[in-house]
Amino acid sequence: MSAIRKSLVRHIVWLLVVAFIVYSVGIKSNVVKAVENDLKCQEKITSFIR
pLDDT one-digit tens code per residue, 19-34? 999 999 888 888 888 8
Residue 37 corresponds to which amino acid?
N
CA distance 13 to 19: 10
Looking at residue 8, its pLDDT comes to 94
Q: Of 14 and 25, which is predicted with more confidence?
A: 14
Sign for the CA dihedral angle at 17, 22, 27, 29 comes to positive
CA distance 15 to 21: 10
**Residue 39 C-beta-side C-alpha neighbours within 13 Å:** 5
Looking at residue 47, its pLDDT comes to 86
Judged by DSSP in three states, 50 sits in coil
